[in-house]
Amino acid sequence: MGYAEEGYEFCEELIGRKTIDSIKQNMVRVMQQFCDVSPDDPDALDKGFAEITKQDRKLRGNVLKIFSRMASLPLLLRDEKLEAKVRELGVEIPILQAYSIVCMEPGESRFLFLPHQDLKDRTSFESLVIWAPLSPCNGEGGIGVYPGSHKKGPIKHDLSPEGHLRVPDEAVRGFSKHEVVRFKETDCLIFSPYLVHWSVLTTGRKVRWTAIVKVDDGLSTGHLRQAIHPFAVSDFIDERTNEDRLKEADRLRQETGYAAG
Nearest to 83, CA basis, from 130, 39, 127, 123: 130
Q: Which is nearer to ligand AKG, 64 or 252 (CB)?
A: 64
In 3D, which of 35, 68, 38, 39 has the Cα closest to residue 49?
Answer: 35
**Nearest distance from C-beta of residue 230 to ligand AKG, angstroms:** 19
> Strand, helix or coil at 134?
coil
- Other residues' Cβ atoms within 10 Å of the Cβ of residue 222: 9
If binding is defined by CB under 6 A, does position 113 make contact with ligand AKG?
yes
Q: Which of 82, 104, 128, 196 binds ligand AKG (CB under 6 A)?
A: 104
- Nearer to ligand AKG among residue 31 and residue 167 (C-beta): 167
Which residues is 190 bridged to in the sheet?
A: 9, 130
| Residues numbered 148-207 forming contacts with ligand AKG, rule: CB under 6 A | 197, 199
CB atoms within 10 A of CB 178: 15
Query: Of 196, 213, 214, 198, which is closest to residue 112 (Cα–Cα)?
Result: 198
Alpha helices in 7-43 (DSSP H): 17-31
Residue type, 188: C
Interface mask toward ligand AKG for 199-238; x: CB under 6 A:
x----------x-x--------------------------
Q: Which residue among 6, 79, 105, 118 contacts ligand AKG (CB under 6 A)?
A: 118
Site string for ligand AKG, 5-44 (x = CB under 6 A): ----------------------------------------
- Site residues (CB under 6 A) for ligand AKG? 102, 104, 113, 118, 143, 197, 199, 210, 212
